[in-house]
Amino acid sequence: MGTGTSEGIPRVSCLTNPLKTCEVCSKAAEPGNKNRRLNTSILIRHATTSGISNILIDAGKFFYHSALRWFPAYGLRTIDAVIITHSHADAIGGLDDLRDWTNNVQPSIPIYVAQRDFEVMKKTHYYIVDTSVVTPGAAVSDLQFKIIDEDPFTVQGLKFTPLPVWHGRGYRSLGFRFGNICYISDVSEIPEETYPLLKDCEILIMDALRPDRSSSTHFGLPKALEEVRKIQPKKTLFTGMMHLMDHEKVNKYLMKLMETEGLDVQLSYDGLRVPIIL
């Protein structure tokens, strides 16, 4: 659904810069360019005994734009559940837009969220959490909040194992493992107790903000590659990239790591579909 930072790519400030110094944002303004990135999010299409369920991880502030692009393109209609990694705007800012689904497609949507993040939602989305404050006749998203902790839980018949990580000093975020797929979108440090949960990972989808270094809240590409070497997944897709990460140039560099180290690593992109067995 999206593979970019909170502010998205292209940046308005780059496109309006008369010097046009940002090559990546200029490319991202072109239709279909893989440098165009909205808030990081994935949608899991999971076959159940009653049909196909669509499980969304995060609905950030650009969710509407991602849904507008990919739901019609891939024949998606329902959102059968939303799982929240953390309570920053790029993960929960689009909860209000879910009203289109609960008003016109389905009665409600369950939201799986940690207690600490639900407490934030009580402030940022108070009118959705407590609909008694809504003006009579007004329509808001009908969301059913389900509190999770760091133990495994089941959504639409699919088991999810939380992958606790640090997203800046003292700030807890959750990755999730479903089947042999491990998804860690926002991370600055992986605690030692989380590594056993990553064992025998087939596909790792992980944060890699910038090409040169890490920030206080996100892995940069060098640190992300260190973690790949430690975790040893069969395949890695990086996500959460900022405008310093040129899709073609970075992927060309990463392809060389297959030749030199046997590392199967690439940048993901908005709209990427990956067939998996769960």
Contact 167, 206 (CB under 8 A): no
The first and second tokens of residue 275, run together, are 């067939």
Contact 238, 227 (CB under 8 A): no
In one letter, which amino acid is 124? T
How are beta strands 158-166 and 172-178 bridged, if at all?
A: antiparallel
Q: Which of 189, 115, 188, 193 is nearest to 161 (CA)?
A: 193
Q: How far apart are CA 148 and CA 92, in angstroms?
A: 16
Q: How far apart are CA 9 and CA 241, in angstroms?
A: 9
Q: Give pLDDT, residue 49.
A: 85
pTM of the predicted model, to two decimals?
A: 0.97
CA distances from 1 to 4, 128, 257, 265 (A): 10, 23, 27, 19
Kindly tell me the sign of the dihedral angle through the C-alpha atoms of 47, 49, 51, 57.
negative
Q: How far apart are CA 186 and CA 171, in angstroms?
A: 11
Helices (H), 95-220: 99-104, 115-124, 126-129
Q: Give pLDDT, residue 50.
A: 85
Q: How far apart are CA 125 and CA 131, in angstroms?
A: 10
The first and second tokens of residue 196, run together, are 């056993």
pLDDT tens, the chain, 278 aa long: 999 999 999 999 999 999 999 999 999 999 999 999 999 999 999 998 889 999 999 999 999 999 999 999 999 999 999 999 999 999 999 999 999 999 999 999 999 999 999 999 999 999 999 999 999 888 899 999 999 999 999 999 999 999 999 999 999 999 999 999 999 999 999 999 999 999 999 999 999 999 999 999 999 999 999 999 999 999 999 999 999 999 999 999 999 999 999 999 999 999 999 999 88
Task: Find the angle CA(90)-CA(96)-CA(102) to the nearest 5 degrees.
Answer: 130
Q: Give pLDDT, residue 42.
A: 98
The first and second tokens of residue 171, run together, are 């700030």
Q: Which of 86, 34, 39 is nearest to 67 (CA)?
A: 39
Q: Give pLDDT, residue 196.
A: 98
Q: Which of 139, 2, 129, 140 is nearest to 63 (CA)?
A: 2
How are beta strands 158-166 and 153-155 bridged, if at all?
A: antiparallel
Q: Which of 120, 112, 202 is nearest to 159 (CA)?
A: 112
Contact 80, 146 (CB under 8 A): no
Q: Give pLDDT, residue 278.
A: 86
DSSP state of 189: B
